[in-house]
Amino acid sequence: MKVWRGVVEWTAGTRERLVWRGAGLEPLRTEARPAPVNYGCLPGTFNPADGAEVDAVWLGAPRPAGQEVVAAPTGLLHLTDGDHKVIFGERGSAADLQTLLAWFPPDRGAQVLDAGEAQTWLAQVADPAALTAR
C-alpha cells in the first residue's frame, strides 16, 4: 500500500487552527468548537472541490500541529460536494468514526469508504512528489 506525507494543522481537542501555505504553517483562526479529530492536509495534492490541498484526518490520540505524518490511508471520508477527507489511523474505534461523521452536517452526505477507495481517489489528485515510495 502506498504511503503519503501529511501535515497536522489542527490538533484534536483544540480550537486553534493553522493552515498549510506552501512550505509551512500559518495561524488561521480560533474555531468556535474544538476539532474532534486531528485535521490537516497532504501537501502536493490538489482537491478540485475547494482548490486547496487534500484534507486529511488522523484518528486516535492528539497529534501536535505541525507534525508531519507518513502513512498509508485507512479510509476516505466521501462527501457529496467532493471535498473528501483522507482518513489515517486505526479505524477499529467506532466511536472515532462516529465522532468524525457527526462533525459534518447531514446534507454533506458523509460516508466512510475503504483504504482502496482512498488510494484510487488520491491517485487522481496527487502530484507524484506527494507520494512516498514504500
Superfamily for domain range 3-127 = Inorganic pyrophosphatase (3.90.80.10)
- Contact of 69 with 100, CB cutoff 8 Å: no
pTM (two decimals): 0.89
Query: Cell 483504504 belongs to which residue?
Result: 115
Q: From first to last of its 134 residues, what are the pLDDT tens digits of the chain?
A: 799 999 999 999 999 999 998 788 888 889 999 999 999 999 988 898 998 899 999 998 899 999 999 999 999 999 999 999 999 987 666 677 888 899 999 999 999 999 999 999 998 887 655 555 43
